[in-house]
Structures are given as C-alpha cells and as structure tokens.
A and B are shown apart, each in its own frame.
Chain A
Amino acid sequence: MNPKTTVTVTTEPGGGNPTRFSSGRLHLGDRLLKSITWLSAASIIIITIWIAWQLFVFSAPSRHKFGWHFLLTKTWNPVSEHFGALPFIYGTIVTSVFALVIAIPLGVGAAIFLVEMAPRKVSGFLAFLIELLAAVPSVIYGLLGIFLLIPILRSAVVPALKHTLGFLPIFKGPFYGVSVFSAGIVLAIMIVPFIVSVTREVLLAVPREQREASLALGATHWETVWKVAIPIARRGIFGAGFLALARALGETMAVTMVIGNDPTIRASLFSPGYSIAAAIANEFTEAIGRMYIGALIELGLVLFGVTFIINGVARLLIFSTGGNGYES
C-alpha cells in the first residue's frame, strides 16, 4: 500500500475546519498515541546506534594498544596480552565462503525446481517445509554436527575427497572431525533454507508475460529461466546471497561446536580453525583483565561492522527487485 494514501486518510475529519468532534479530550488521545508510538519507533534507531557505541567504548583498551594492527596480527596470546584477530578473521571468511560455495548452487537449484517444475500446490507445501527448517535454532545444528555429521564426514566424505582431490592443499593433512570443513558444511546446511525461500520469492515475482514472450519466440524452458527470469531476479538473488553471507559470518553456536577452536591459520580445510563469533563465545566468560575483554569486544565490533555493511548492501539489492526481504 502506498504510504501517501495513508497520509491523506489520516488528515482530521473536516479538513482542519473546527468541528464539534474536536474536543480537547480527543486531541489529547491523538497526541498521546502519536508521541508514544513515535518514541518507540525512535528508540529502535537509538538502540542500534547504542549497540555500536557500547562496542566502540568497551573495546577502547585494545583499540588504543593495537590500532589497525589488530586486524593483521596472527598472535592471540591472553597470557602476554598480545592480541591479533587475523586467525579468527581468516577462519570466519573461509568457513562462510566455503558454506556459500556449497549452499548457493544447491539453494538456487532447489528454488528453480520449486518455481519452474513442481506443481503449484506441492510447491507451496514444500516451500513451507523448508521455511520451517529455517526456524531450527543453531545450537541444534551444532548438536547434529557433533554427533551425526562429523561421523559421516569421517567415515565416508573425507576419505572419498582425499582419494580424488587429495593432491590439493586444501584437502591435505589428517582429519580429526572438528575442523573448518565440518563448520563450513554445517553452515551450508543452515543457510540453504534461507537461500531457497528468498530466491523462490524473487523468481515468483518475475512477470508471467516475460516468460510467455520468451517461450513464444521458441526458447526452451531452461533458456527462458536463464536468459529472462534469472536476469530479472538477479539482484534479488544476489541480495539473498549477501544476507546469507551476513548470517554465516555472525553464526556462533553451530560453528563453535564443530570448528575445533584453534587460532592458527592453515591451508587445509581438514584442520581445526577458529571464527570470530566462536572466539567470543568460548573465551568471554573466562577473560580476565580489561585488555583481554577489550580485545574480545573489539572482535565483536569487527563482526558488527562487517555484517552492518553486508546487510546494508543486501537490503538495497532486495528492495530494488520488489522482494520485501522480511524473512530473516
């Protein structure tokens, strides 16, 4: 609905002329409701800024001591109070990118199936199922990761990968279960439902006439999807990818439970690693001293900044394709 319509409707009855209904009591109620609701709306802006401000203030000890080197240093030594975030940044990026590389093709493929191939009624029901799966909390994915996924990876997937692609450095070295690889797979499973539902939504928004025109010109069904539907929905799909990336970067529990929690940078995906969110989750309650807590909060600030930027870009992309981007 156009907001302007609402505005015209909300003008007082009588168009501002004094009417017998405009007693002081009624005006009081109007003013009261308007100011209370305005305050609530404004408080959301304030809370968002306040979060950034608190992170900024409480990370001061670490920011002052390490400056920008914090982002580029490999040492993480709570005993000597030398803190560098590089291993965590590396682990976060590698797990998230790995997860996206698996989840985007799968998710977009599944969405294409739902929109283009599945019968309408079944499609709606399947999409509902997948949306329900997006409601599963991350700690449960972590639980399944430890007790179901890691044994499967260890007995079947990893030996097969080593056999076929073992010459690649990213698939070298021993596999102990907890690893960057396991974390990436768990993340991929977690974000797939989200990618499917957003992609499905933007594909459904493609006008029917466009498809029909393409089919009438003799294009095959796939050519219609690839050259007509996907280009129209492209920004929405990119937006879904960005939102999924932001989620993967900030995902905490599932990653903490399967990544191995070892702040070292290694080329092999099979070795344990660490992510920003996992470091905060594991070490915060044990951290002693202003510097250690400051460094962990600065990690939080980095995470906040990155997800802030990515979300901003993603929302712009999704708004501009007509999807509402509310599902998150």
Chain B
Amino acid sequence: MNLNILAAVATGSPSGFAALWPTALVVVLAGLAIWALRLIPKTRLLRKIVNYTIFAAAGACFAIVLGALVIILGYLLWKGAHSLNWDFFTKIPVPPGMHGGGVANALVGSGELLLMATALGVPIGFLGAIYLAEYGGKKFPFLVRYATDLLNGVPSIVVGIFAYTVVVVPMKHFSALAGGVALGIMMIPIALRTTEEFLRSVPNSLREASLALGASKWRTTVTVVIPAAIHGIVGGIMLDLARVAGETAPLLFTSFGNEFWSHSITRPTAAVPLVIFEYATGPYADWHRQAWAAGFVLLISILIVNIIARSIMHLRYRPA
C-alpha cells in the first residue's frame, strides 16, 4: 500500500477509542427509543399493523440475503465464463506480467493435495465413527465428539501452522505433503460426523437380524450396517472434499505454491485456491482474468460435487 495514503489516513482521521463516544451516544439513544415504544397502548389495530410490518421486514431480510448472494455468484459465473480459455487448463503460468499461460499445474496440484488429504483424514474419521456408533459407551464417545467439534472449529490458518510445525519444520522446506496433512486434519471432523450420523440411522432390527443368524459383531458391522449406510457415508465424504477443496489459508505456508510442475510430494506444489489468492491480489490485468477463471472452475466443481453428494445422501435411510 502507498505510503502517502497511510500518512493521510493517520493524520486525517481521529484515532483511538476515545473518539468513539458520539457513536456510543447514538447507540444508547436508539436503544432508549426502542424501549419507549413499549409504552404505546396495544390496540387490536396496532397489533395487526405490527404483525404485517414485521413479516414484511422478515421478507425483506430474505430478499436482501438471497438477492445479494445471487448477484455476487451470478457476477462470478458471468465474469469467470468470459475469462476461461483452453490454455487455462493445459499450460503452466508464464513469467509475471506476460499474457497467456494457464494453471494446469495448480489443477493437478489440487488433485494431489485432495488425494493425500482423503487418504489421511477419511480413514480416521470413518473408523472413529464406527466406534462411536457401534460400540458406544459414555465418557469416551462424549470426549471424542467434543474434540471433533472443537477440531472442526479450529480456524484453518491455525491448522496450517500445526502442519508447518510438524511437517515443514522437520523437513526444512515447504512440501505438498504438509499441505495434504493440513487438509487431511480438516477433513476428519465431517467424515466422522456424517459417518456416525448415517450408521446410527440404520435400523437396529437389521443388526439384530444379522446377530440372530449367528454373524459375529464385526461381520454384522462390515457386511450389514456399513453397506446399509453407504450412500450417506459416500455423500458425506464428497461434501467433506468439496469443503477442503477451496481451503487456501492452510496451504499458504505448507504446500506454498509453485509456478512450475511439481515432481515430488516432498516439494512445494501449486493449488487452485492459492492461484486465486496470488493472482487476485497481484497487479496484472491478465492475472486478474485468470483469477476469475480459476474461481469459476473451483466454484463450479464445488457446487456440482455438493449437488451430487446431497442427492446421493437422500437416496436411503435419511437420518431423522
């Protein structure tokens, strides 16, 4: 950012918390005014008016939310579709400032990262969910669920720091592997949650029937319960993948980005979200065009996977 602008901002605007008091005054006055409204007597007419006014306001809220979201996504799709070309999918980036090139390496890099993440995160979540749904208990499952919720709430950038400290620091350089570890950890909570939810939705009569036929517990789980819930589990894992596919923050200092092809998982690799970030914040018009194109490709893939996953999940044994 330009230094002159910073200087102008620093001298031209009031600084510190002390200058906030007029704002606080306005907030307090508005609060008092709302409180004073209670003193008006409630006639039947007034109650009807209030009823319609508030529902109109709720409708307006909904219109604003949907309108804003439709506008911004429509803009992205329109702008992105205009920015796409064949080179985008087949070539690697050209030196900064030059026209043309593509992000083929980032598309492959993202695929590679997602594969690694799935290989790490899904088995842990899936197997953990089997324990919670089929073996149960009291204290331990509670702890696991709580830890899962907290892990789910850990900001993605913090997961990035974690992967940095456990993979990048010992290896002494950035690598695709570190990015895969970060994304894999982020996949665990949802893999566990959806798997558990769908295993639990399998009717107990199925388990009892299997056990009554003499099958052991593990056979019942593997050949009866899991197949009955498989739609939901696969759908859930697809949603999980779609969620981490757009994650950028945990990749910044793990897989780092790369302008060329990456030939090893122990080397830095490019990824689509990193490309969007780098190109959108960069100075060149052609970079901006490619950022739109990359955003378009990423968003379309995520939305398609989401829609497919949700339709698969609703095929059978929907959880209540």
Contact = CB atoms under 8 A, between A and B. Distances in A.
B9 interface: yes
B174 to A, nearest CB: 8
A253 B249 contact: yes
Given A304-B154, A311-B152, A326-B194, 7 more contacts: A1-B204, A43-B124, A110-B61, A128-B310, A140-B298, A143-B280, A146-B280
B1 A260 contact: yes
A106 B158 contact: no
A170 interface: yes
Interface of A: 1, 3-7, 9-10, 12-13, 21, 26-27, 29-30, 32-34, 36-45, 47-51, 54-55, 57-58, 105-110, 112-114, 116-118, 126, 128-130, 132-133, 135-140, 142-144, 146-149, 167-170, 172-174, 176, 178, 189, 192-193, 196, 220-223, 243, 246, 249-253, 256-257, 260-262, 264-268, 270-272, 277, 280-281, 284-285, 296-297, 300, 303-304, 307-308, 310-312, 315, 324-326, 328
A174 B8 contact: yes
Contact of A315 (B61, B149, B218, B307): B149
B150 interface: yes
Contacts of B22: 167-169
Contacts of B256: 285
B20 A169 contact: yes
B95 interface: no
17 contacts: A12-B217, A36-B127, A37-B130, A113-B58, A113-B61, A116-B58, A126-B66, A133-B73, A196-B65, A220-B48, A252-B155, A252-B248, A297-B165, A304-B158, A312-B150, A324-B197, A326-B193
A39 B217 CA distance: 18
A267 B207 CA distance: 63
Given A54-B165, A284-B253, A304-B155, A142 B277 contact: yes
Given A112-B58, A168-B22, A285-B256, A143 B13 contact: no
Given A5-B204, A169-B14, A135 B306 contact: yes
A95 to B, nearest CB: 14
B315 interface: no
Contacts of B140: 41-42
A137 B150 CA distance: 20
Contact of A33 (B185, B218, B276, B306): B218
Interface of B: 1, 5-6, 8-10, 12-17, 19-20, 22-23, 26, 47-48, 50-51, 54-55, 57-62, 64-66, 68-69, 72-73, 75-76, 79, 123-128, 130-137, 140-141, 143-144, 146-159, 161-162, 164-166, 185, 188-189, 192-194, 197, 200-201, 204, 207-208, 211-212, 214, 216-219, 221-222, 239, 242-243, 245-249, 252-253, 256, 273, 276-277, 280-281, 288, 291-292, 295, 298-299, 302-303, 306-307, 310
B20 A146 contact: no
A311 B75 contact: no
A37 B59 contact: no
B193 A267 contact: no
B162 A13 contact: no
Contacts of A284: 161, 164, 252-253
User: What's the dominant secondary structure at chain B's contact region?
Assistant: helix
Contacts of A268: 13-14
Contact of A253 (B57, B58, B135, B248): B248
B5 to A, nearest CB: 6
B47 to A, nearest CB: 5
Contacts of A261: 1
